[in-house]
Structures are given as structure tokens and as C-alpha cells.
Structure 1
Amino acid sequence: MPQHLAALAFLVLLFIGAPGQAESIKIPLGQQGSELARHLPQRGQSQASVLHQHGEPTKRHASVGQPPITRWDYPEFTVYFEYNHVINSVRQHQRQHP
């Protein structure tokens, strides 16, 4: 029994230090995609307006469901349309190499 307690105590001490090994990356809220967010298509914008502002998308997905939801993919973001108007624009994750 004392060997089990010693082993348990060792494991507890081992895992207490584990969280200290993790790397924390903190990005201030003001720097999280703010530059690109200004250039994303805005809610209510028409498909024609998005085409004029951003050009032809990399890929156009067929409409799905009712009401029809359409998705256009651009290199840095994706635009979702309901009928012919933007309902959401989402920035795509861009891996940064240190």
C-alpha cells in the first residue's frame, strides 16, 4: 500500500507542473482581424455589388435549401447570400509562419 501512495504522490506532483509547460498566445482584441473585417462584404449588400467590389469568387457553390442560401469562396473570406443579398461574411483562417 505505501508503494501505491508513493506512486500516486509522484504522479500528482508530476501533473501539477504540466500546466506551466503550455505556451500562451495572446492577441489583443483590437488586432484580431480588424483590417480585413473592414473590407468584408456587409450584410444586405447585393451579389452584383460584391462582384464589383471583390471580383469573381474562387468558387461559387450552388444554392441550398429554402430560402436559397448561396456561398461564394474568396481566398481570404467566404460570403453567404440569402437570395441575392449578403447575410454573413466570414474571414478564413490564414496560417502565419513565424
Structure 2
Amino acid sequence: MVKFTRSLPIIVMLAAVAGLAGPQLANAAQSRQHGDNLLIHRVQQENGMNLPSRGLSMSQVEKTWGTPQRKLSPRGGDTHKHPQINRWEYSNFIVYFEHSHVIHSVLNTPAGNNTNPAAVN
């Protein structure tokens, strides 16, 4: 004979939640794998393109790739730990500068989260 205690309803609720969470966890893992594949594809695509490389100056970038479509407002620069970051947007990529030198270039793709960098605060 089963003796009912206060903990029995908690155990039943936990079992129910675990049963419902199984499919959600599987979907989350599948979604993450898809996201990882997109990121890997994007990095491979970036590596195959002629993007501005780390260390180039703003004048070198402009000389090689032309005038950007937009020069976004600089961010940071308030302390030594937060240097000024400038962003230039070209039709296919965005170049990030620390002060006046390239630190990173990324594709401007709908799959990325940089489709509207002006909206990022």
C-alpha cells in the first residue's frame, strides 16, 4: 500500500515536466546544431573572400575597397579599457576598427545579427 505524503505531488509534477521537456530539449539541440552549421558556413565563406584584414589602417581600407556606404558613429572611447570602435558598412561586409586600424571584418548577411548595425546600441 502506498502512503501519500506531501512530496508525492511534487514528484508527480517533476515527472510531468520532465516528460514535456524532452521534446523541447531535443528541438533546442537540433536548432543549436543548425545554428552551428550556419556559423561554420559563414566563417568558411568569409575566409574565401577578400575582406580587409586585421591591422590595416582606415586609409588602406578606403584605398583598396573604396568609400564605404556608411561610416557609423563611433562607440566607446570613454576609457583605456573601452577604446573607440568605428564601423564602416560596405555592400557585402562591415569593417570594425579600433581607433583607426582594422580589428575584424564580417559579412553583412541576413543570417547574421549584423543586418542593421546602426540599430545596435
After TM superposition, the score normalised by the length of structure 1 is 0.60
Task: Kindly indicate whether residue 62 of structure 2 is the aligned counterpart of residue 51 of structure 1.
Answer: yes
Task: Kindly indicate whether residue 76 of structure 2 is the aligned counterpart of residue 65 of structure 1.
Answer: yes
- The one of 79, 82, 90 equivalent to 2:106 is 90
Kindly tell me the number of residue pairs found equivalent between the two proteins: 75
Give me the identity figure in percent.
Answer: 36
CA contact (8 A) 1:61 1:70 kept: yes
Could you tell me how far 1:93 is from its partner in structure 2? 1.6
**Superposition pairs of residues 22-33 of structure 1, within 5 angstroms:** 32-33=44-45
If each structure's helix is expressed as a fraction of its own residues, which one has the higher value?
2
- Rounded Cα–Cα distance in structure 2 between residues aligned with 1:47 and 1:75: 17
Task: Kindly indicate whether residue 48 of structure 2 is the aligned counterpart of residue 35 of structure 1.
Answer: yes
Residue 35 of structure 1 aligns to which amino acid in structure 2?
Answer: G
Residue 48 of structure 2 aligns to a residue in which SS? helix
In structure 2, stretches of 5+ residues that fail to align are 1-22, 28-33, 78-82, 112-121
Equivalent in the alignment of 1:4: none
Could you tell me how far 1:35 is from its partner in structure 2? 3.0
After TM superposition, the score normalised by the length of structure 2 is 0.50
If each structure's strand is expressed as a fraction of its own residues, which one has the higher value?
1
- Rounded Cα–Cα distance in structure 1 between residues aligned with 2:85 and 2:110: 25
- Rounded Cα–Cα distance in structure 2 between residues aligned with 1:45 and 1:90: 15
What is the CA RMSD across the aligned residues, in angstroms? 2.9
